[in-house]
Amino acid sequence: MSKLIKELKKIDTFVVLSHEDKLKWRELENITVIHNPLSFFSEKTSDCNAKQVIAVGRYVPQKGFDILINAWNIVSQKHPEWILRIYGDGMRKELEEQIYSLRISNSCFLEHSVSNIADKYCESSIFVLSSRYEGFGMVITEAMACGVPAVSFACPCGPKDIIKNGIDGLLVENGNIQELADKICYLIEHEDVRKEMGKQARINVERFKIENIAMKWKELFDSLLDSKK
């Protein structure tokens, strides 16, 4: 690690994706944060009326869908009329067996990846990110761009840079199954809060539009060129 730090000190600027990640590189002064841009900004938005929760990602341990399924077991007992759809591909068998063993196959569904994921966000009222860790968490920004409030673990790194807790989404202690279930239930039970957070999510996520992120890169390149004059 010390060798890496030594080499990084030689470059003009080291760019990371989040302020949380930046804190891990305290030895560096030549470091700046530029977030990932939105992959799309949907023209359609959710009205947050559907009794559906959505999660999106690869079926791998990193994404914590095993944790989410355990949390959903709690949620479904309180709100059996709501459903959870998880879109992705990968280690499906283990998750299917977990859903079956918990007897929640009537409300928790594993869906394959789709090309029209924006439509699926717009058909949902709450987005959940249950990852153990992330590089940034672009699926959060995608959901927000569709007017869907997020409930997310405050995992390293990304969610704390994206979600304004209590304003456009909710942050949960990383790995806390009961709190994750409670926060999902809170948005289910408070329709007015859910809809207002969805509206704020749509507004606040505009800072991640490609034109705004591209401007930050331009400013960085301009400053580096000026320093060489």
Higher-confidence position of 105 and 227: 105
**What is the rounded CA–CA span in Å between residue 71 and residue 144?**
22
CA atoms within 13 A on the CB side of 164: 13
pLDDT at residue number 228: 77
Closest CA to 164 of 130, 139, 192, 201: 201
What percentage of the chain has pLDDT greater than the value 90?
Answer: 97
pLDDT at residue number 229: 74
**What is the rounded CA–CA span in Å between residue 129 and residue 116?**
19
pLDDT at residue number 209: 97
pLDDT at residue number 221: 96
Domain coordinates in residue numbering, the chain:
1-34, 52-207
**What is the rounded CA–CA span in Å between residue 68 and residue 145?**
22
CA atoms within 13 A on the CB side of 21: 19
pLDDT at residue number 65: 98
Average pLDDT score over residue span 167-192: 98
pTM of the model: 0.94
Cβ contact 25:31 at 8 Å? yes
E-only strand ranges, the chain = 14-16, 31-33, 52-56, 83-87, 108-111, 126-129, 150-153, 169-172
pLDDT, tens digit, 9 for 90 and up, residues 5-29? 999 999 999 999 999 999 999 999 9
Phi, psi (rounded to 5 degrees) for 69: -65, -40
pLDDT at residue number 200: 98
Residue 154 confidence (pLDDT) above 90? yes
CATH superfamily for domain 52-207: Glycogen Phosphorylase B; (3.40.50.2000)
